Amino acid sequence: MKIRLPILLFIALLIIAAAAYFSGRWYLSKPIKSDATTPLLLDFRGGATARSVTNQVTERFQSGHSTLSYRLSQLFADINHLQAGLYEIQGQQSWFDIWMMLSQGREKTFNVTLVEGLTLQQWLAQLSQQPYLVDKSSELNDSGLRQELGIETASAEGVLLPETYSYRAYTTDVSILKQAYTAMQNVVEQAWETRSDRCPVNSPYELLILASIIEKETGLADERPLVASVFANRLETGMRLQSDPTTIYGIENFDGNITRAHLREKTAYNTYRINGLPPTPIAMPGKASIEAAANPVGSPYYYFVADKSGGHVFSETLKEHQQAVRRYQLNQE
């Protein structure tokens, strides 16, 4: 009997230890709070500790269990190799999930969609409102920004690709713009290499200028090649482009109302008064507009005017165009 007692005690201790082990692992593997719907943004940066993580998470999801969660995590989880960053913690996650996320550096990512047809200044205003994105561009003038991005043209307008970009917290807006510049270089290079004989411009940069005008003139995908054909026909025959969006771009503090005085004023962007293309793009062109500029369809059209349905009516002659203007712009049947 004396021999059996130590054995029984040993077995009991083993059972207790096993129960504690499996209970601890069960605790760390179950959802912290299964009914939680609002995530916690956990900012784990320099000076933060695993204890501070448990404090923040338990305060949000498990009030009163901070010490227990921390001690069990010390025993059963890897809390010594956590990577700095901003993490999104869901209530349905377990402590094991959280520590794995932090040890692997799986930070929360944010998305920003930079839309075609907008200007650089509009993009910068949008980026300045993005959460956890550092505004560095406001510290730079136009020349400084171009230097930072590695842009060799006279303007950063039109040389950045409209797209959805992902970023992590505390990324700079300049970093996003660098991605957009690299992406645009690739798109323009491919479009230039595959351009057709009808492409009316002489360089990839001129292709971007023309594409930006097409982008501003129509938002309809199936119209872009036709709009491109009108401008290609005009450039080939020496006609002026006579594009309102280019003229508007050259008006300082434009109030939304283009007047005859604006159209008569000679500026670098008033294509009613200058020959050929303006000196820079007038907006950020999308890939479809760039491809349309590189490959305009063959057409007899030299004119177009907005109709009443969001599209345009295309005309071969000035007389036909004037009739379309009277019908669709002046409501004169």
Q: 44-77 pLDDT, tens per residue?
A: 988 889 999 999 999 888 877 889 989 998 898 8
Average pLDDT of span 184-192:
97
pLDDT of residue 20: 63
pLDDT value of residue 32: 87
* Model pTM score: 0.87
Structural domains in the chain, CATH included, are 30-104 (3.30.1490), 109-187 (no CATH), 196-328 (no CATH)
Among 21, 177, 198, 33, CA closest to 114: 177
What's residue 295's pLDDT?
96
Residue 246: is its pLDDT beyond 60?
Answer: yes
What gap in Å lies between CA 51 and CA 188, rounded to an integer? 51
Q: What is residue 126's three-state secondary structure?
A: helix
Q: Report, as an integer, the average pLDDT of 149-166.
A: 96
Is the pLDDT at 2 greater than 60, yes or no? no
- Tokens 């910068």 locate to 124
Q: By C-alpha distance, which of 202, 207, 206, 185 is closest to 291?
A: 207
pLDDT above 90 (res 141): yes
Q: What angle do CA 235, 236, 242 make, to 5 degrees?
A: 25
Give the model's pLDDT for residue 29: 87
- Give me the amino acid identity at 4: R
pLDDT of residue 119: 97
- 10 Å Cβ neighbour count for 27? 16
Mean pLDDT of 182-209: 97
- For the segment 225-242, what is each residue's pLDDT rounded down to a tens digit? 999 999 999 999 999 999
pLDDT, position 184: 98
Say if residue 11's pLDDT is above 80.
no
Q: Helix-strand-coil percent breakdown of the chain, rounded to 5?
A: 50, 10, 40
pLDDT in tens, 261-316: 898 999 999 999 999 999 999 999 999 999 999 999 999 999 999 887 888 999 99
What does the pLDDT read at residue 12?
A: 65
pLDDT band, very low/low/confident/very high, at 168 (cuts 50, 70, 90): very high
List the structure tokens of 159.
Answer: 């040389």
Q: For 105-118, write each residue's pLDDT tens digit.
A: 999 999 999 999 99
Q: Is the pLDDT of residue 18 over 70?
A: no
Q: Is the pLDDT of residue 102 over 60?
A: yes
Residue with tokens 């309102």: 244
pLDDT top residue among 103 and 2: 103
Please tell me whether residue 141 adopts helix, strand or coil conformation: coil
Given this model, what pLDDT does residue 331 score? Answer: 65
